[in-house]
A and B are shown apart, each in its own frame.
Chain A
Amino acid sequence: MVLEVLDLHFFLGARDTVMQEELQEVEYQPIPVRDLLVEMKDLSELMIDLAYSAVMFNDRDLAEEVMDMEERVDYLSYLLLMNASLAVRDKKDAEQIVSIMKTASSANKISDAAADIAGLVLHDIGIPGILWLAMSQAEEIVGRATILKKSMLVEKSLADINLEEEIGADIIAIQRKRKWTINPSETFELQKGDRVIARGSSDSIMKLQRLAAGELEKIA
């Protein structure tokens, strides 16, 4: 079956095919419902922002980031339903837990819509060039960078480097392994391999990317 699908894509010309990561299997883990809900809410809100930016700047990297987050939100929603189910003991619990499940389902819906927006970039559909130009004249953009081992940012806390003051790049999210931290606190310490999403002028984003790649050794 899978082969048939692959063949069909090949037949149609695989250029537009977006590499689909294998779905992560879900097994029950005891994680507080609250933590799961917070991550789902934060991710879904961030995704809207990133998805619209991806379309406006025709940015594939950003669009892929959104797809990644969408898979994460899906995964979290399974864990949330499992953990929330275990918390129900009586009628009152049942009534209250519905508010959580419904909210989680809305967050999931939000993340799906964001993924649809990002899909416009990944499937080369886009929006008319003339609008794209008008929208991309915004002063601020969203960009991403991966922190390499040789970068001076490794093992520095956000307070240490103070990127917002120094270069005008505001870090809005960091991914380490699969887990995302949205709006990281000042004490957050960067490590090699971290993927960072930041907002700022295109100059400041470029500077951040060079710092992350180890091409720039001083911040100021």
Chain B
Amino acid sequence: MSLKRLLKTPTGEQTPEERILTMLIQLKDTSELLISLAYTALLTNNKDIAEDIFELEETFDGFHTEFELEVLRMELEEGEEKRRLGLIRLGVAAENLADAASQMAEIVLRGVDVHPLMRLALKDADERVSRQVVDANSILAYKTLGQLRLEDHGTRIFAVKRKDQWTYDPRGRFKLLPGDIIYAGGYKEAVEKLEEVAQAKVQEL
């Protein structure tokens, strides 16, 4: 499975170690995603992104508890008891990262005037990130990322939100559907073009 679903409790035929590993990777990916979204929310003063962050952070909290329970249940080799503590602390650190992201999103949601300097400081010279909903009439709908080959057009989708489900770093097999919220990054012109394509204002990439 190359799709990286975020905050999905692993089910099926996994060993306890595999379950913990999968959850650990999800905690890591989610905390990193939250932080990059937080800077984007600030940079663009975008309340939709800030709300996504709050929502994702809430799911993250629940997932973190499940992870902790799983770690407490894990059987360890003799002499490895200390390692259980390591996993717990790793989870707490990821949680602190997620909190830091919410703290930044809060600035936007409270409508605090973002200082003009912030835009200068956070802006990556010509990189841009955007959040777009895929329109039913967009040529993106019902296509896999493999078919779309966005990289050839100078942009990349790094996260997709479908209802409550987030997918981080979606791969070629991932198929976009109408209503999906895509987070894309890349050169300014390329990202703006992708926005228009997602809104079905333009019918080619």
Kindly name the residue among B90, B93, B112 whose own CB sees the greatest number of chain A CB atoms within 10 A.
B93
Q: Kindly identify which residue among A37, A107, A109 contacts B99, using a CB–CB cutoff of 8 Å.
A: A109
Q: Kindly identify which residue among B38, B86, B113 contacts A127, using a CB–CB cutoff of 8 Å.
A: B86
Chain A residues with Cβ below 8 Å from B21 are: 131, 134-135
- Check B85 against A106 for contact (C-beta < 8 Å): no
- Check A100 against B118 for contact (C-beta < 8 Å): yes
Chain A residues with Cβ below 8 Å from B74 are: 128
Kindly name the residue among B35, B39, B101, B112 whose own CB sees the greatest number of chain A CB atoms within 10 A.
B35
Q: Kindly identify which residue among A37, A99, A120, A129 contacts B114, using a CB–CB cutoff of 8 Å.
A: A99
Between A and B, how many residue pairs show CB distances below 8 Å? 122
Kindly name the residue among B21, B25, B77 whose own CB sees the greatest number of chain A CB atoms within 10 A.
B21
A17 beta carbon closer than 8 Å to chain B: no
Chain A residues with Cβ below 8 Å from B147 are: none
A8 beta carbon closer than 8 Å to chain B: no
Scan A125-141; emit 1 where CB is below 8 A from any B CB, else 0: 11111110011000000
CB distance from A49 to the nearest CB of B (A): 8
B17: nearest chain-A partner, CB-CB: A130
CA distance A60 to B142 in the complex (A): 47
Chain A contact patch, size range: 35 or more
* CB-contacts of B152-186 with A (<8 A): none
CB distance from A92 to the nearest CB of B (A): 7
CA distance A214 to B87 in the complex (A): 39
- Check A34 against B121 for contact (C-beta < 8 Å): yes
A33 beta carbon closer than 8 Å to chain B: yes
Scan A66-95; emit 1 where CB is below 8 A from any B CB, else 0: 000000000000000000000000001001
A32: nearest chain-B partner, CB-CB: B117
Chain B residues with Cβ below 8 Å from A65 are: none
* CB-contacts of B39-98 with A (<8 A): 39, 42, 74, 76-77, 80, 82-87, 89-90, 92-94, 96-97
B104 beta carbon closer than 8 Å to chain A: yes
B103 beta carbon closer than 8 Å to chain A: yes
- Check B104 against A127 for contact (C-beta < 8 Å): no
Chain A residues with Cβ below 8 Å from B205 are: none
A110: nearest chain-B partner, CB-CB: B100
Chain B residues with Cβ below 8 Å from A100 are: 115, 117-118
B107 beta carbon closer than 8 Å to chain A: yes
- Check A113 against B97 for contact (C-beta < 8 Å): yes
Q: Kindly identify which residue among B87, B103, B115 contacts A97, using a CB–CB cutoff of 8 Å.
A: B115
B196 beta carbon closer than 8 Å to chain A: no
Chain B residues with Cβ below 8 Å from A135 are: 21, 24-25
Tell whether A109 pairs with B107 under 8 Å between CB atoms, given A45-B35, A128-B76. no
B1 beta carbon closer than 8 Å to chain A: no
CB distance from A217 to the nearest CB of B (A): 35
A188 beta carbon closer than 8 Å to chain B: no
- Check B90 against A127 for contact (C-beta < 8 Å): yes
A113: nearest chain-B partner, CB-CB: B96
- Check B76 against A106 for contact (C-beta < 8 Å): no
A98 beta carbon closer than 8 Å to chain B: yes
Chain B residues with Cβ below 8 Å from A59 are: none
- Check B113 against A92 for contact (C-beta < 8 Å): yes
What 9 A-B pairs have minimum CB-CB distances, sorted nearest first? A113-B96, A96-B115, A109-B100, A128-B83, A37-B121, A125-B86, A106-B100, A127-B86, A113-B93
Q: A102-B106, A103-B42, A128-B83 are in contact. List 17 more A-B contacts (CB 8 A).
A: A38-B121, A51-B93, A52-B28, A96-B114, A99-B42, A99-B115, A102-B107, A103-B118, A112-B96, A113-B96, A113-B100, A116-B92, A124-B82, A127-B86, A128-B80, A128-B86, A131-B21
**Cβ contacts A to B, 7 pairs, < 8 Å:** A45-B35, A95-B112, A96-B115, A107-B100, A113-B94, A117-B93, A128-B76
Which residues of A are interface residues toward B (Cβ below 8 A)? 33-34, 37-38, 41, 45, 48-49, 51-52, 55, 92, 95-100, 102-103, 105-107, 109-110, 112-114, 116-117, 120, 124-131, 134-135
